[in-house]
Amino acid sequence: MSNYHIKHLEEYYQVYRKSVREPENFWAEVAEEHFMWRRRWDTVLSWDFKKPEIKWFEGAQLNITENCIDRHLRTKGDQTAIIFEPNSPDETAEHITYQQLHDRVCQMANVLKDKGIKKGDRVCIYLPMIPELAISLLACARIGAIHSVVFAGFSSKALASRVNDSECKMVITSDGSYRGSKTIDLKGIVDEGLESCPCVEHVLVVNRIDSEIEMKAGRDVWLQPLLDEASPVCEPEIMNAEDPLFILYTSGSTGKPKGMVHTTGGYMVYTAYTFKNVFQYKDGDVYWCTADIGWITGHSYIVYGPLANGATTVMFEGVPQYPDFGRFWQIVEKHKVNQFYTAPTAIRALGKQNISFVENCDLSSLKVLGSVGEPINEEAWHWYNDNVGKHKSPIVDTWWQTETGGIMITPIPYVTPTKPTYATLPFPGIQPALLDEEGKEIKGNQVDGRLCIKFPWPSIARTIWGNHERYKDTYFSAFDNMYFTGDGALRDEVGYYRITGRVDDVIIVSGHNLGTAPIEDAINEHPAVAESAIVGFPHDVKGNALYGYVTLKETGESRDQNNLRNEINQLIKDRVGAIAKLDKIQFTDGLPKTRSGKIMRRILRKIASKDISNLGDTSTLLNPECVQVIIDESL
């Protein structure tokens, strides 16, 4: 039996059981059958969650770009690997074949080598969503350099702290970037940031917007002339399976960013295997993930997972609202996208708009819809299912983290029956556990607790760059012999998982633990509500009470706020229980979000508790201006 492609539920259970009973055989078979190794491993897995130390496929040698590019050339050299859809619909989309990708990656790899970059060196990539971004990742991997992508929406300070943390020798950037109707002076941000980064020797600059920029002599150089001169052949550096592939800083919803380190062999196997199954990708399909490559979702499911499967993957440079709110759907129609993977924040934002934006486009190519990043609330789930999937494309609500490298809990489309707000079942190889406060595992169904993982999987991050102690403290100290995810979850009567929110955000009211997601879900059911976030604040009697921040849909109607408050609390009472009713409800125009679009509850918590003197690290906020407004209008 080939375990690689799961096609029905019975097969899922068989494969899953095998992955738990004989994990080493299971992963060895997947790795052996579907990838290209220069040398086979000596040991499939060795692990110790106490140290913690995890190694997969030790002794094996490979280069991930041979798996993502070279091995497809014979059969798929002329097939499109990457479709680049530019910011402006007036600019022609670019189709890059596997052969062209090979040549461009090799040229870039040769430029890096020429600039003195060697195996193990760190290269910071600070680029917009243009082909050079994917090509830079792969070029680093080609020569064994460790890439550290910093999302090109981050400030100069955030960039500098990441560059310094991992002591990058080089930065790859562009003169500027397009973002809807605006341009952003990326190079200016880099120049400012690098003033405090003595480790950087070279800056390679892509010309994207043809702007006049300053080039620092001896440090900065335009990339294109170097590429034009470079050879399109570059022998891959042979890497050990456990050599680092990249560092990626977590999105920073909860505190100081952590430089998660992912290694080569296990990461490749797991991202490729999950991509194939979670999106049921078939040869010839066009797959589109709307994330930015600056996030783990883009690393694993725009670049490595799809390319390892010889897929066609779309890279979109722009934003969902430019030139209008129909852009996503226009792109689906234009490129006949088969699998579409986005985030709840985007679904909620698009769901607020006139439905004609969706209805004007032919979405009949779609077969699978995905969601990632936050719990998807029930209303958004139905909107997505009704209007985008039209009840024929299953929604895969994929739960995972930067630290996990790949998708962990998810339905498999056309295999696992879906249920709104539920990420459903663990992917093969993943052994979730729910723990109580004392650290005891809660067995059985219809229970909830802290979500942990009992056994290693191939793409788990191996450390935090330069800070193994923090890695140990954050993930392996809360519970004995478990990886602690930081999230809470419940398991329903059939064993489906629902993520209830971050454990840090859990609010204890009169002795009851309340997760944020189910309550926000109830609030969002109200037809006037667009989005909401709840936090706890000190209360004399209950210890804690609930404070809700609510944004309304832009319908133009005016509503009586007190009526709305009553209606919202009635919904909560009906759906969750009277215990979860909100003591305070503040209507606001916006909620503070990370640049990856996640609501940052820790800031709201401080405002609700009137503790605004130190709001913590806000450098990763997308919309810092809304914080002051919320403070000024707070109740």
- Interface with ligand ATP (CB under 6 A): 250-254, 257, 296, 372-375, 397-399, 401-402, 423, 485-487, 499, 502, 596, 598
CB of 253 to ligand ATP, least distance (A): 3
Compute the least distance from the CB of residue 342 to ligand ATP, in Å: 12
Task: State the nearest-atom distance from the C-beta of 431 to ligand ATP, in Å.
Answer: 17
Asked if 319 and 371 count as a contact pair (C-beta separation under 8 A), the reply is no
- 379/176 Cα distance (integer angstroms): 38
In whole angstroms, what is the distance from residue 360 CA to residue 600 CA?
34
- Rounded to a whole number of angstroms, the minimum distance from the CB of residue 23 to ligand ATP is 23
Instruction: In whole angstroms, give the CA distance from residue 148 to residue 150.
Output: 6
* The token pair that represents 137 in the structure block: 């990742």
Asked if residues 295 and 153 have their Cβ atoms less than 8 Å apart, the reply is: no
Residue 37, class by beta-carbon neighbours within 10 Å (0-12 exposed, 13-18 middle, 19+ buried)? middle
Cα(155)–Cα(190) distance, integer angstroms:
9
> Which one-letter amino acid corresponds to residue 242?
E
Q: How far is the CB of 603 from ligand ATP (least distance, A)?
A: 12
Nearest approach in angstroms of CB 583 to ligand ATP is: 25
Cβ closer to ligand ATP: 255 or 543? 255
**Cα separation of 358 and 1, whole Å?**
42
Question: Of the two residues 351 and 518, which places its CB atom closer to ligand ATP in the complex?
Answer: 518
Q: Which is nearer to ligand ATP, 543 or 616 (CB)?
A: 616
> By C-beta, is 102 or 593 nearer to ligand ATP?
593
Q: Minimum Å distance from CB 606 to ligand ATP?
A: 16
Contact 398, 472 (CB under 8 A): no
Which amino acid, residue 162?
A: R
Q: What are phi and psi of 179, to 5 degrees?
A: -145, 95
Q: In terms of CB distance, is 177 or 254 closer to ligand ATP?
A: 254
Instruction: Order across the sheet with 220-222: list the strands.
Output: 220-222, 202-206, 170-174, 122-125, 146-149, 244-249, 259-263, 463-464
CB of 235 vs ligand ATP, minimal distance in Å:
34
Q: Which candidate, 94, 172, 115, places its Cα nearest to that of 138?
A: 172
Q: Is 95 helix (H, G, I), strand (E, B) or coil?
A: strand
Minimum CB–partner distance for residue 364 and ligand ATP (Å): 26
Nearer to ligand ATP, 326 or 518 (CB): 518
Instruction: Please give the Cα distance from 187 to 126 (Å, whole number).
Output: 9
Pairing of strands 507-509, 512-514: antiparallel
Q: Which is nearer to ligand ATP, 405 or 548 (CB)?
A: 405
Q: Is the peptide bond before 52 cis (omega within 30 degrees of 0)?
A: yes
Greatest Cα pair distance in the chain: 73
Beta strands 170-174; 122-125: pairing state = parallel
> Residue 486 or 592: which CB sits closer to ligand ATP?
486
Hey, is 484 helix, strand or coil?
strand
Residue with Cβ nearer ligand ATP (116 or 417) = 417
The β-bridge relationship of strands 529-539 and 543-552 is antiparallel
Tell me the C-alpha to C-alpha distance, in Å, between residue 442 and each of 422, 436, 480: 19, 7, 14
- DSSP SS3 for 626: helix
Shortest Å, Cβ 371 to ligand ATP: 6
Q: Is-contact 70 102, C-beta < 8 A?
A: yes
Q: CB 453 → ligand ATP: shortest distance, Å? A: 12
Residue with Cβ nearer ligand ATP (144 or 518): 518
| Nearest CB to ligand ATP, comparing residues 287 and 341 | 341
Q: How far is the CB of 485 from ligand ATP (least distance, A)?
A: 6
Q: Residue 110 or residue 596: which is nearer to ligand ATP going by CB?
A: 596
**Could you tell me the two tokens for 628?**
């002051």
CB of 257 to ligand ATP, least distance (A): 6
Q: In terms of CB distance, is 87 or 532 closer to ligand ATP?
A: 532
3-state secondary structure 198-258: CCCCEEEEECCCCCCCCCCCCCEEEHHHHHHHCCCCCCCCCEECCCEEEEEECCCCCCCCC
Least spacing, CB of residue 437 vs ligand ATP, in Å = 19
Q: Closer to ligand ATP by CB, 259 or 320: give it.
A: 259
Paired residues of 179 in beta bridges: 182
